């Protein structure tokens, strides 16, 4: 099990938020403005089948899957650094908790969750070092044998943007987003380096009319 050193975790979190031209801060500001992003939930990923035991969603955003009448009675913690404005998420049940925090420094106890979900988040973190901090924090809060559900964007053609560190800044009217574009072997390697055994890797397409633009890697892994 990865032990938590609170001072070290805080130092790493601060470093990762500020490197590469504050790419992560700029990405967060974009999503604060994109209020309807993923509001309807994922079409290509059935989140409901992973809701078992105590579940943590890291980078939950608007948690669109809660609008699909999912009947889940267990503990579900939605965590996102944008939750200083709680109006972003509409809760239907009393078993859902909101936590204003980020995955680089998770303020939760070791081995406290059975499942961690993190969809379309990891690719926004610059540098392998910082992505491993993120993955190791997830590994820390999972129970032994706990399940990680992870997705990253995997477009056939990378969008145009400014190259920064090991990724690209994509700009629009709402602001800037940082993306690191994974290969499947690279993603598997990082997840395994954080203390997981990869169970399954597949590609899913969110919009069949735009397969090149909406392709994602969906990975499931177990904490070793």
pLDDT per residue rounded down to tens, the chain (224 residues): 555 566 676 788 999 999 999 999 999 999 988 877 767 689 999 998 999 999 999 999 888 777 665 678 899 999 999 887 655 566 656 788 999 999 999 999 999 999 999 999 999 999 999 999 999 999 999 999 999 999 999 999 899 999 999 999 999 999 999 999 999 999 999 999 999 999 999 999 999 999 999 999 999 999 99
Query: Measured between alpha carbons, how far is 120 from 104 in angstroms, rounded to an integer?
Result: 15
pTM for the predicted model, two decimal places = 0.92
Those residues whose C-beta lies under 8 Å from the C-beta of residue 61, and which sit 6 or more positions away, are 31, 37, 38, 80, 82, 88
Those residues whose C-beta lies under 8 Å from the C-beta of residue 210, and which sit 6 or more positions away, are none
CA-CA-CA-CA torsion for 18, 181, 85, 19, nearest 10 degrees? Answer: 0
**Given this model, what pLDDT does residue 72 score?**
81
From residue 81, give the alpha-carbon distance in Å to each of 107, 111, 155, 203, 222.
12, 22, 26, 27, 25
**Given this model, what pLDDT does residue 122 score?**
99
- Classify residue 208 by burial, with Cβ atoms within 10 Å: 0-12, 13-18, 19+: exposed
**Does domain 12-150+181-206+218-223 match CATH 3.40.640.10?**
no
């Amino acid at each position: 099990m990865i032990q938590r050193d609170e001072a070290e975790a805080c130092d790493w979190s601060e470093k990762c938020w500020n490197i590469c031209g504050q790419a992560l801060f700029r990405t967060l500001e974009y999503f604060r403005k994109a209020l309807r992003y993923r509001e309807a939930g994922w079409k290509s990923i059935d989140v409901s089948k992973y809701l078992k035991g105590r579940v943590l969603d890291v980078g939950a955003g608007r948690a669109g899957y809660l609008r699909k009448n999912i009947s889940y009675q267990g503990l579900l913690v939605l965590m996102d650094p944008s939750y200083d404005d709680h109006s972003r998420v509409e809760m239907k049940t009393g078993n859902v908790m909101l936590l204003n925090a980020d995955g680089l420094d998770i303020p939760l106890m070791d081995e406290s969750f059975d499942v961690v979900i993190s969809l379309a988040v990891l690719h926004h973190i610059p540098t392998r070092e910082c992505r491993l901090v993120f993955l190791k924090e997830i590994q820390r809060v999972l129970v032994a044998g706990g399940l990680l559900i992870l997705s990253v964007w995997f477009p056939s053609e990378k969008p145009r943007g400014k190259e920064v560190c090991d990724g690209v800044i994509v700009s629009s009217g709402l602001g800037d987003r940082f993306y690191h574009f994974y290969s499947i072997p690279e993603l598997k390697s990082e997840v395994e380096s954080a203390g997981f055994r990869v169970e399954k890797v597949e590609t899913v397409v969110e919009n069949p009319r735009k397969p090149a633009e909406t392709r994602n890697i969906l990975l499931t892994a177990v904490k070793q």
